[in-house]
Amino acid sequence: MQQFEKGETIRLEDGRSAIVDSFLGEGAQGAVYAVSVDGQRKALKWFRKQPSERFLKNIRKNIKDGSPSPTFLWPEALAKVRTGGIGYLMPLKPDGCYEFTKFRMAKVRFSSFRAIIEAAMNLCDAFRLLHANGLSYQDLNDGGFFINPNTGDVRICDCDNVYPHGENSGILGKARYMAPEVVMGKTLPNSYTDRFSLTVILFMLFCVDHPFEGFNVIKHPCLTEAFEQRLFGKDICFIFNDEKDINRPVRGVHRNALTMWPLLPEELRGKFKEQFSDRIINSPQERMTEMQWVDVFISLRDHLMKCPHCGDETFVYGNQPCLNPRCRKPIQVTYVMEGAGRSIPLIKGNIIRFERTGVPSGVVIDKNDASGLLLIKNLTEKAWTVLTPSGKSLSLAPGGFMPVKQDLVISTIFKFKINK
């Protein structure tokens, strides 16, 4: 229900005014408008029902403390109380970002694994910073964030339920995304339950389907609240649980999960199996931290490259075949670069990324002669120190080349050693 007309002015508590531009949409709690404040385009969320004083006090505190990460569409100012509700100002989501539910409905698709990995890292980074600030989100679900399918850029909305760890917003979260201990009424949402919801979303970024919706859910076409409580609480079972096959994805229904799961590297599948095992589900404090997830995604990114045979994106581990079903040729890896807990295959064309940001640091090329020797080009603006096995230290200028040779060590922010 649209409440404001174009051109209407809404006074803000910080003294500024928001001028309504257009109606953007509405959710369960209220509507969102595009507004302009001092010539800047922003969004205004307006609640239909007057929220509690505690809720407003919490938003005021979050406004004052500021956003932990630009990934959050964080409240910037409260509107002055007026009849017919209250609202708050927040950044507008950038063009090209779509609500994740659109990915679920197959209206939007990621353009590459690279974009999925980037989105996963962005989500983890945002939650790491949120939790590091002593806050929890409490209501992570598939409608709570926007993603750019080409770049993996993420924006998280509905930040009005962000409360300090241990305090509760009064909402439990959206069914199917809540941690089982919340579903079962054992605890209220906190940063550990956030981590469960985050893992559900991470699985969905890669597989699109829901990690706990398999045969068990299909069996009950009319899922009553009591059944939902059971299937997402006491009897929760991962669709790819190794020990129990009672909730496998169903052919023709969970097509995405069945298609995507076999394409994922074992190191990622193993983490999902572990995090969705009975043991970890029942030990919230042992759930993987956001930082540990980021390390997994950095490793995945290290192994994602263009197939030298067909040019398609594929994960390269050992001598595994290309993912492209029309190619399936084995990709031979002779040398890897090891350091900082990472192992980067050195095959022709691979772009090496030392830093978390993903900025290219180097590229592997071949020497273009009969030797078959591979070279690494320094794509950074700084010289690298290269240590030889005999103890010599050489400097590799920006744009310079070095050979891919056993036992050479590249020392930049991290040390990487070349091994067979």
Query: Is 322 within 8 Å of 328 (Cβ atoms)?
Result: yes
Count of CB atoms situated within 10 Å of the CB of 303: 20
Which residues touch 47 (CB under 8 Å, ≥6 apart)? Answer: 29, 30, 85, 86, 87
- Which range, of 136-144, 236-244, 285-293, 306-314, touches Zn ion by CB under 5 A? 306-314
Q: Which is nearer to Zn ion, 221 or 325 (CB)?
A: 325
Neighbour-count burial for 134-159, b at 16+ CB within 10 Å, e otherwise: ebbbbbbbbbbbbbbbebbbbbbbbb
Which of 384, 413, 410 lies closest to 397, judged by CA?
A: 384
Q: How far is the CB of 226 from Zn ion (least distance, A)?
A: 49
Q: Which amino acid is at 240?
A: F
Q: How far is the CB of 350 from Zn ion (least distance, A)?
A: 14
Q: Which is nearer to Zn ion, 101 or 324 (CB)?
A: 324
Q: Which is nearer to Zn ion, 304 or 307 (CB)?
A: 307
Query: Is 399 within 8 Å of 377 (Cβ atoms)?
Result: yes
Q: How far is the CB of 362 from Zn ion (least distance, A)?
A: 23
Binding to Zn ion, residues 320-349 (CB under 5 A): 322, 324, 327
Q: How far is the CB of 338 from Zn ion (least distance, A)?
A: 25
- Which range, of 12-20, 184-192, 251-259, 299-307, touches Zn ion by CB under 5 A? 299-307
Q: Which is nearer to Zn ion, 183 or 307 (CB)?
A: 307
- Which range, of 22-30, 73-81, 147-155, 307-315, touches Zn ion by CB under 5 A? 307-315
What does the alpha-carbon distance between residue 10 and residue 298 come to, in Å, rounded to a whole number? 44
113-132 and 290-303 are packed helices; what angle lies between their axes, rounded to 10 degrees?
160
What does the alpha-carbon distance between residue 332 and residue 329 come to, in Å, rounded to a whole number? 9
Among 117, 294, 307, 352, binds Zn ion (CB under 5 A): 307
Q: How far is the CB of 322 from Zn ion (least distance, A)?
A: 3
- Which range, of 41-49, 128-136, 308-316, 360-368, touches Zn ion by CB under 5 A? 308-316
Q: Which is nearer to Zn ion, 327 or 363 (CB)?
A: 327
Q: How far is the CB of 308 from Zn ion (least distance, A)?
A: 8
Q: Which is nearer to Zn ion, 351 or 409 (CB)?
A: 351
Q: Which is nearer to Zn ion, 199 or 314 (CB)?
A: 314
> DSSP readout, 54-67?
HHHHHHHHHHHH--
- Which range, of 64-72, 98-106, 317-325, 342-350, touches Zn ion by CB under 5 A? 317-325
Which of 231, 254, 247, 246 lies closest to 175, judged by CA?
A: 231
- DSSP reduced 3-state for 139: coil
Query: Is 92 within 8 Å of 26 (Cβ atoms)?
Result: no
What does the alpha-carbon distance between residue 351 and residue 172 come to, in Å, rounded to a whole number? 44
Count of CB atoms situated within 10 Å of the CB of 36: 14
Q: Which is nearer to Zn ion, 51 or 308 (CB)?
A: 308
Q: How far is the CB of 309 from Zn ion (least distance, A)?
A: 4
- Which range, of 51-59, 222-230, 266-274, 314-322, touches Zn ion by CB under 5 A? 314-322
What does the alpha-carbon distance between residue 222 and residue 36 come to, in Å, rounded to a whole number? 45
Q: How far is the CB of 349 from Zn ion (least distance, A)?
A: 12
- How far is the first Cα of the chain from the last one, in angstroms, to the nearest whole number? 64
310 binds Zn ion (CB under 5 A): yes
Q: Which is nearer to Zn ion, 307 or 418 (CB)?
A: 307
Q: Which is nearer to Zn ion, 164 or 308 (CB)?
A: 308
Q: How far is the CB of 346 from Zn ion (least distance, A)?
A: 18
Query: Is 189 within 8 Å of 135 (Cβ atoms)?
Result: no
- Which range, of 23-31, 48-56, 151-159, 309-317, touches Zn ion by CB under 5 A? 309-317
What is the token pair recorded at 56?
């407003």
Rg, Å, the chain Cα set = 24
Q: How far is the CB of 99 from Zn ion (least distance, A)?
A: 33
Which residues touch 118 (CB under 8 Å, ≥6 apart)? Answer: 151, 152, 153, 358
- Which range, of 25-33, 270-278, 303-311, 350-358, touches Zn ion by CB under 5 A? 303-311
309 binds Zn ion (CB under 5 A): yes
Size of the site for Zn ion (CB under 5 A): 6
Query: Is 92 within 8 Å of 43 (Cβ atoms)?
Result: yes
Q: How far is the CB of 381 from Zn ion (least distance, A)?
A: 33
Q: Which is nearer to Zn ion, 248 or 309 (CB)?
A: 309
Q: Which positions lie near Zn ion, rule CB under 5 A?
A: 307, 309-310, 322, 324, 327
